[in-house]
Amino acid sequence: MGDGNENFAPGPLPGVTYPLQVLYCGNCSMPIEYCEYYPEYEKCKQWLERNLPEEFEKLMKIGEKEEDGIGEEEKKRQKRGGKGIMKAKKKDDVPKQVCVSRAPRGKKKSVTVVTGLSTFDIDLKVAAKFFGTKFACGSSVTGEDEIVIQGDVKDDLFDIIPEKWPEIDEDSIEDLGDQKR
């Protein structure tokens, strides 16, 4: 008593004929309602259509109803890997200018923030990788048009950016000084 099975009457269920008849698939040897979990489900469908056409029809009607409900839910679900960093849209009204600033990080450490490289159609991931290798430090893309370089390398950027990307001249690089992030 009290084990949670009080609602079930002992013995056969009304409306069910015994012994139960279970239909097995000739392809995967599982009950036909479990064929959809078998890796070669298409072969199971073909076997079922040839040998048990009425069961095949029932199964396909049930499958269509379930797919209608799943289709909408699957579209909303986010795929693996997250959204990633969206590419910055090119805006014609934005002036082509690279801004370099330094931001404090902790007590004596700082990071260098570079913005505006995407106005020159420069791939930010490639640029971040280049800065990280050049200065032997961590460098990452943090915003739509922002690269954060660990360490104070602001002064070196005025020489290195025009050297790496000739379309950017030294006049189009602006020093914003020290800023809070």
**Does the pLDDT of residue 66 top 80, yes or no?**
no
**Separation of alpha carbons 179 and 73, rounded Å:** 45
Encode pLDDT of 86-138 as tens digits: 555 555 556 788 889 999 888 889 999 999 888 888 888 999 999 999 999 99
**Separation of alpha carbons 126 and 84, rounded Å:** 15
Longest CA–CA separation in the chain, Å: 90
pLDDT band of residue 77 (cuts 50, 70, 90) is low
Across all residues in the chain, what is the average pLDDT? Answer: 79
**Does the pLDDT of residue 178 top 80, yes or no?**
yes
* pTM (2 d.p.): 0.49
The helix/strand/coil state of 117 is helix
Q: Are strands 139-143 and 173-178 parallel, antiparallel or unpaired?
A: unpaired
Q: Which residues contact 28 (CB under 8 A, 6 or more apart)?
A: 35, 38, 40, 43, 44
20 DSSP assignment: -
**Separation of alpha carbons 148 and 158, rounded Å:** 16
Look-up of token digits 């489900």: 41
| DSSP-H helix ranges across the chain | 41-51, 53-76, 124-135, 154-164
The helix/strand/coil state of 37 is helix
Mean pLDDT of 75-88: 59
**Residues 96/119, Cβ–Cβ less than 8 Å:** yes
Query: What are φ and ψ of residue 45, in 5° steps?
Result: -60, -45
**Separation of alpha carbons 177 and 154, rounded Å:** 9
**Residues 80/55, Cβ–Cβ less than 8 Å:** no
Encode pLDDT of 31-42 as tens digits: 888 888 888 888
**Does the pLDDT of residue 76 top 60, yes or no?**
no
